[in-house]
Amino acid sequence: MQEKNSMKVQFVSQSINEAFARVVVSAFVAQLDPTVEEINDIKMAVSEAVTNSIIHGYRGKENGVVEVHCSYEGRVISIEVVDYGLGIANIDQAMAPLYTTSLEEERAGLGFTVMQSMMDELEVYSECHKGTTVKMKKSLGE
């Protein structure tokens, strides 16, 4: 029988919580004894998704709610980052490499590209003025 576990954490949309989200997810995933590279990939993907929620979902408003759901079954990790912010009008455009709505803020426009590179699967669901859910999966090596 494959081992299962899950957790959920919720925090307000302050940028200082980007590091908090990374630490919480990496502590949870550490139960599976991943490699340093795997942990770094997961931290990077979580950081990108949470930063998107804070910058784009809530446009810097610091009282929005960001949720991170994390689970594993065997060595497959599933992570969901959920916000209830502005949503994404055009997901395909938002996911295109180098696309950014924040030119003046020096954003690289690489958030989704990094998430795709670091994880095995990435799905984005969004509705205008209702919010965005980013679902990611990664299989750890044996």
List the catalytic residues: 48, 52, 107
Could you say whether residue 33 binds other proteins (CB under 8 A)? no
19 counts as binding other proteins under rule CB under 8 A: yes
Which stretch, 36-44, 62-70, 71-79, 130-138, contacts other proteins (CB under 8 A)? 36-44
Q: Tell me which residue of 67, 69, 77, 68 sits closest to 4, measured CA to CA.
A: 77
Among 13, 47, 126, 133, contact with other proteins (rule: CB under 8 A): 47
Q: Under the criterion CB under 8 A, does residue 53 sit at the interface with other proteins?
A: no
* CA nearest neighbour of 33 among 1, 3, 10: 3
Following CA atoms 135, 53, 97, 136 in sequence, which dihedral angle do they give, to the nearest 10 degrees? -10
| x/- track of binding to other proteins for residues 112-141 (CB under 8 A) | -xx--x------------------------
Helix, coil or strand: residue 42: helix
Among 13, 25, 29, 43, binds other proteins (CB under 8 A): 43
> Strand, helix or coil at 101?
coil
Cα 16 versus chain centre, distance:
15
Rounded CA-CA distance 19/1 in Å is 34
14 vs 139, beta carbon nearer other proteins: 14
Dist CA 21 CA 43 (whole Å): 8
Check residue 27 for interaction with other proteins (CB under 8 A): no
The answer to whether residue 78 forms part of the interface with other proteins (CB under 8 A) is no
Closer CB to other proteins, residue 13 or residue 126? 13
Q: Quote the least distance from Cβ 66 to other proteins, whole Å.
A: 13
